[in-house]
Structure 1
Amino acid sequence: MEGSPDEFGAYRLLAGGVVPRPIAWVSSRSAEGVDNLAPYSFFNVVAYDPPVVMFAPVGTGDDLKDTPRNVLDSEQFVVNVVTGDLVEAMNATSATLPEGASEFDHADIEAAEATTVDAARVADAKVAFECELYDAVEVGGSTMVLGEVVYAHVADEVTVDGKLDVTKLDAVGRLSGSYYATTRDRFSLERPD
């Protein structure tokens, strides 16, 4: 089969063909002090100098959900990395809740106060990046949120000699629909000169 993205269903084509996608489990705080936590699989690293990550929720302008609205208002958020032990809790935070409800409470997730930004983080996350808003760009019907990482939390159990060891981090990625993947099945390739 060949054709334009629209012929395949652009969302399904991209979400099913660009896999696995890392998951940004973004925590933010509303102006009223409500802690929000939601997963986004349109997420990645953008730069390392300065260290910038991005996530791209659907919605623009007045049509934003809680997380991007909180981030644009406060200019602060935390990206928590989803690991196998937290995947059920992450899924529970994707539920639609009433206005003013916190996903931390709904999913019974222990929150810890961030160190440098005004937001909670997932206490049990093996890796969490505290971010300040770098920029936000409307792209079609989505808003790409760029955050500069200003502080990181890394559990000792996923480090070797004070450095993150990817072989110890059981990260979970999003496939499509209700499918996910883990990073347990790893292999190594030497890059050519």
Structure 2
Amino acid sequence: MFYEPAKRNHGLPHSPLKAIVAPRPIGWISSLTPAGTANLAPYSFFNLICEVPPLVMFSSLGRKDSVANIEATGEFVCNLAVLDLVDAINLCSAPLPPDQSEFDFAGLEKAPSRLVKPPRVAAAPCALECVYVETIRPRAKDGTLTNAHMIIGEVVGVHIDDGAIVDGRVDIAMLKVLSRCGYLDYGPIERLVERERPPGGGSDLKARAPAA
């Protein structure tokens, strides 16, 4: 089949686009309202976009509470979404009013952050403390401004549960890190396939000379 997204002429019950661009990491974003209420929401348009400096982004369709909070306070936390927490993550997508906390709604315990004010999800095995950098409003090919708000933040602190580190590496398969797969589907990472990079190719695991 072939279809044009702008015409929505795929003839299927639901758009297949987000199922094709999958799996996608889930940014489980905690923030604070200016009055101090803790907000927590999942975003499937989320990723690490730069390592030096370490920049992450998430994109919200519409200026939702997370966007407003982060722009007002300048801080947020990305909590790692894992299979054991899938029901709580799903609950956090409920359209609650700004003065109601998703932590309470989903029955999640808060944990203090070290360098930013928004709390972490205590049960999340990893979390990234972030400082707000900018908001980008993407445009369509004709220059029309979209209703997407892409928040970029710099990671200033990283929390990792000691039990998540196996042989010096974060074991994301053991943690069953969760991804979004389109429709109402989530997929846990339970198996990894490793390949050496070609000579001269980039790698996350660079060879290091032994210490003198």
Calculate the TM-score normalised by the size of structure 1. 0.91
- Residue 150 of structure 1 corresponds to 156
Q: Give CA deviations for 1:52-105 in whole Å, capped at 9, x if unaligned.
A: 11000111xxxx111110011111000001011111111111112234100000
Q: Distance in 1 between matches of 2:167 and 2:189?
A: 22
SS at match of 2:61: coil
Q: Give 1 or 2: higher helix fraction.
A: 1
CA contact (8 A) 1:46 1:54 kept: yes
Q: Between Structure 1 and Structure 2, whose CA radius of gyration is higher?
A: 2
Q: Give CA deviations for 1:137-170 in whole Å, capped at 9, x if unaligned.
A: 0112101111100001101111135542334331
- Residue 126 of structure 2 corresponds to 127
CA contact (8 A) 2:27 2:46 kept: yes
Q: Within 5 A, what are the aligned runs for 1:25-64?
A: 25-59=28-62, 64=63
Q: Distance in 2 between matches of 1:167 and 1:182?
A: 8
Report the aligned-residue RMSD: 1.9
Please tell me the residue identity of whatever aligns with 1:48.
E
The share of aligned pairs that are identical, in percent, is 39
SS at match of 1:72: helix
Q: Distance in 1 between matches of 2:124 and 2:165?
A: 14
How much has 1:30 moved relative to structure 2?
0.3
Q: Distance in 1 between matches of 2:4 and 2:135?
A: 28
Change (3 A) 1:96 1:187: same
Please tell me the residue identity of whatever aligns with 2:116.
V
How much has 1:185 moved relative to structure 2?
2.9
Q: Give 1 or 2: higher strand fraction.
A: 1
Of 157, 160, 179, the match for 2:185: 179
- Residue 2 of structure 2 corresponds to 2
Change (3 A) 1:89 1:96: same
CA contact (8 A) 1:157 1:168 kept: no
Gaps of 5+ in 1: none
Q: Distance in 1 between matches of 2:170 and 2:52?
A: 18
- Residue 108 of structure 2 corresponds to 109
Q: Distance in 2 between matches of 1:34 and 1:131?
A: 18
How much has 1:3 moved relative to structure 2?
3.7
How much has 1:111 moved relative to structure 2?
0.4
Establish whether residue 191 from structure 1 lines up as the match of residue 194 from structure 2: no
Q: Give CA deviations for 1:92-131 in whole Å, capped at 9, x if unaligned.
A: 1111223410000011100012110110110111110000
- Residue 94 of structure 2 corresponds to 95
Gaps of 5+ in 2: 139-145, 200-212
SS at match of 1:114: coil
CA contact (8 A) 1:22 1:43 kept: yes
How much has 1:134 moved relative to structure 2?
1.6
- Residue 68 of structure 1 corresponds to 67
Please tell me the residue identity of whatever aligns with 1:129.
L
CA contact (8 A) 1:26 1:77 kept: yes
